[in-house]
């Protein structure tokens, strides 16, 4: 049929039969079978596009879910992530309020997106390992690690000899105390003017909080501690805890264990040069056939520790960094002493001397740098109060006529510290610090 200008249709049949051909004036109409084929092609393209869009949306949702569970898993141990979660919860809650104007909603949405971007940046900064944060141990009270976690972290030792940052060797002073430090004023005078060359760590009984001026080297230096009882393995635990916390600072090169009754007998510069330049560590170690030494050996420690390996020594040690790492990392010998060195064995007098004799005998001077007087006998050394603390006593400790070896050469400077002093001796020692001790 044919459409005339008037709008009517006219049908025309061909001579071949009933086949009908439709056309508009001057423009033939597309055959019906061609139109049908194009329609199916269009539908196929639409379906393909929808499938691709669905795959893309599914992948995006999977990434978001994975990111959510990843940050949720670390959020419980990070204060930063916890605060981030609360911010996200708060911003989500604000969107559930009453209906507001469209412009206000738009601004709120932009603000929320900005907050989320900032949160993601903070999270990324917290998760990524920052070299400065790895080198800087932070405050001594700034971690919540258990002893196994702390010992594992502190036992890490780089195998590259050269440090990739400027490092000044420091001496770590490890104060093992029950509570107050009566000689803190003397030590403060000893440390004064030498900041950056020393570190201080204090292990006190749990619950005790020492109070010091903000300018004091003892301020904020108390480490997370544990219960300690005299003559038990808990003393070794406290020593290892002090060493481990000090090892977190890569600049600490030498480690000195002192007590609340211990005082320096030379000025800081002499002590620093003596220790930092020494090729040896100073842990007293010996074995004599008496009940208080060889008589404490337990045969159940064999074959790891034989009777000829057994050693005794003063608890108050000084050692280098690599030896300190080995002491903290040791589990094999520590477990033996924990099981077989009962309180009458006094593990604090035997564990470290025996361990170092087995592992680093050639690097230990087998002597202590802390003077003490055992001449009066008994389970405890002599204690010096105000009356007994004289200039002659301090001079005799500094140079008592004996010789010892320092880097293979004889010297009369054998003791850098002394104990035991009573708190009443503080005024006398402060007087000597300006003259005899030369602080």
Give the pLDDT confidence of 348-377 residue by residue, as tens digits: 999 999 999 999 989 999 999 999 999 888
Mean pLDDT of 165-169: 91
Mean pLDDT of 424-435: 95
How far, CA to CA in Å, does 360 sit from each of 173, 195, 321, 355? 22, 31, 13, 8
Residue-level pLDDT at 52? 76
Residues 371, 412: contact at Cβ < 8 Å?
A: no
Mean pLDDT of 325-333: 97
**Per-residue confidence at 242, pLDDT binned at 50, 70, 90?**
very high
Pick from 187, 319, 199: which is nearest to 260 by CA? 187
Residue-level pLDDT at 48? 76
For residue 330, what are the contacts with CB-CB under 8 A and spacing of at least 6? 355
Pick from 211, 236, 435: which is nearest to 347 by CA? 236
Backbone angles phi, psi at 197, to 5 degrees: -110, 0
Q: Which two tokens stand for residue 213?
A: 């001026």
The H-or-E segment that residue 117 falls in is helix 102-127
Give residue 411's Cα distance to chain centre.
39
Residue 4 above 90 pLDDT?
A: no
In angstroms, rounded to a whole number, what is the distance separating the alpha carbons of residues 1 and 327?
Answer: 106
In angstroms, rounded to a whole number, what is the distance separating the alpha carbons of residues 177 and 141?
Answer: 17
What burial class does residue 346 get, using C-beta atoms within 10 Å of its C-beta: 0-12 exposed, 13-18 middle, 19+ buried?
buried
Pick from 270, 278, 139, 280: which is nearest to 200 by CA? 139
Backbone angles phi, psi at 198, to 5 degrees: -145, 160
Residue-level pLDDT at 30? 45
130 vs 10, higher pLDDT = 130
Mean pLDDT of 295-322: 96
Least confident of 26-40, 65-79, 375-389: 65-79
pLDDT digits (tens, 9 = 90+) for 113-144: 666 566 555 544 544 457 776 777 777 677 88
For residue 140, what are the contacts with CB-CB under 8 A and spacing of at least 6? 201, 220, 221, 222, 223, 245
Strands 252-259 and 170-176: parallel
**Per-residue confidence at 10, pLDDT binned at 50, 70, 90?**
very low
Least confident of 91-95, 157-161, 340-344: 91-95
Residue 77 above 60 pLDDT?
A: no
Residue-level pLDDT at 97? 45
pTM: predicted TM-score of the whole model, two decimal places: 0.72
Residue-level pLDDT at 315? 94
The H-or-E segment that residue 389 falls in is none
Residue-level pLDDT at 49? 73
Q: Which two tokens stand for residue 279?
A: 């090729």
Residue-level pLDDT at 108? 55
Q: What angle do CA 17, 20, 26 make, to 5 degrees?
A: 130
Residue 331 above 50 pLDDT?
A: yes
**Per-residue confidence at 98, pLDDT binned at 50, 70, 90?**
very low
Q: Which two tokens stand for residue 376?
A: 């009066």
Least confident of 38-47, 71-80, 244-253, 293-302: 71-80
Share of the chain above pLDDT 90, in %: 58
For residue 213, what are the contacts with CB-CB under 8 A and spacing of at least 6? 219
169 vs 55, higher pLDDT = 169
The H-or-E segment that residue 432 falls in is helix 426-433
What is the helix, strand, coil percentage profile of the chain, to 5? 45, 10, 45
Residue-level pLDDT at 389? 97
Residues 324, 247: contact at Cβ < 8 Å?
A: yes
Residue 64 above 60 pLDDT?
A: no
**Per-residue confidence at 402, pLDDT binned at 50, 70, 90?**
confident
Residues 257, 239: contact at Cβ < 8 Å?
A: yes
**Per-residue confidence at 321, pLDDT binned at 50, 70, 90?**
very high
Residue-level pLDDT at 295? 92
**Per-residue confidence at 74, pLDDT binned at 50, 70, 90?**
very low
In angstroms, rounded to a whole number, what is the distance separating the alpha carbons of residues 349 and 192?
Answer: 32
Residue-level pLDDT at 135? 75
pLDDT digits (tens, 9 = 90+) for 291-302: 989 999 999 999
Q: Which two tokens stand for residue 176?
A: 């093992």
């Amino acid at each position: 049929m044919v459409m005339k200008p008037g709008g009517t249709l006219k049908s025309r049949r061909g001579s071949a039969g009933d086949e009908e051909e439709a056309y508009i004036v001057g423009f033939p109409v597309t055959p019906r079978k061609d139109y049908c084929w194009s329609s199916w092609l269009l539908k196929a393209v639409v379906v393909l596009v929808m499938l691709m869009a669905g795959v893309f949306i599914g992948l995006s949702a999977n990434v978001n879910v994975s990111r959510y569970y990843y940050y949720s898993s670390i959020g419980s141990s990070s204060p930063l992530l916890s605060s981030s979660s609360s911010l996200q919860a708060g911003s989500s809650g604000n969107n559930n309020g009453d209906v507001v104007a469209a412009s206000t909603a738009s601004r709120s949405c932009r603000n929320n997106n900005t907050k989320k971007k900032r949160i993601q940046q903070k999270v990324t900064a917290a998760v990524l390992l920052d070299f400065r944060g790895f080198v800087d141990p932070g405050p001594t009270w700034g971690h919540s690690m258990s002893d196994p976690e702390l010992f594992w972290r502190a036992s890490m030792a780089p195998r590259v000899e050269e440090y990739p940052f400027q490092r000044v060797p420091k001496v770590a002073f490890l104060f093992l105390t029950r509570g107050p430090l009566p000689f803190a004023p003397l030590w403060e005078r000893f440390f004064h003017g030498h900041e950056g060359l020393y570190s201080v760590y204090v292990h006190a009984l749990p619950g005790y909080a020492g109070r010091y001026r903000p300018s004091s080297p003892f301020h904020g230096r108390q480490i997370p501690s544990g219960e300690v009882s005299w003559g038990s393995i808990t003393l070794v635990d406290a020593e290892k805890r002090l060493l481990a916390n000090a090892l977190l600072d890569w600049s600490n090169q030498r480690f000195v264990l002192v007590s609340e009754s211990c005082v320096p007998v030379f000025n800081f510069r002499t002590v620093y040069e003596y220790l930092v330049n020494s090729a040896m560590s100073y842990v007293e170690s010996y074995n004599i056939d008496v009940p208080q030494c060889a008589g404490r050996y337990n045969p159940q420690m064999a074959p790891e520790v034989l009777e000829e390996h057994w050693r005794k020594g003063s608890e108050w040690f000084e050692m280098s960094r690599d030896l300190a790492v080995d002491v903290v990392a040791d589990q094999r010998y520590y477990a033996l002493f924990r099981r077989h060195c009962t309180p009458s064995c006094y593990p604090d007098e035997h564990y470290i001397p025996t361990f170092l004799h087995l592992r680093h005998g050639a690097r230990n001077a087998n002597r202590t740098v802390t003077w003490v007087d055992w001449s009066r006998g008994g389970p405890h050394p002599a204690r010096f109060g105000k009356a007994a603390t004289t200039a002659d006593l301090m001079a005799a400790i500094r140079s008592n006529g004996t010789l010892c070896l320092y880097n293979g050469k004889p010297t009369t400077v054998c003791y850098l510290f002394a104990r035991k002093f009573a708190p009443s001796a503080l005024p006398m020692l402060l007087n000597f610090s300006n003259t005899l001790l030369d602080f």
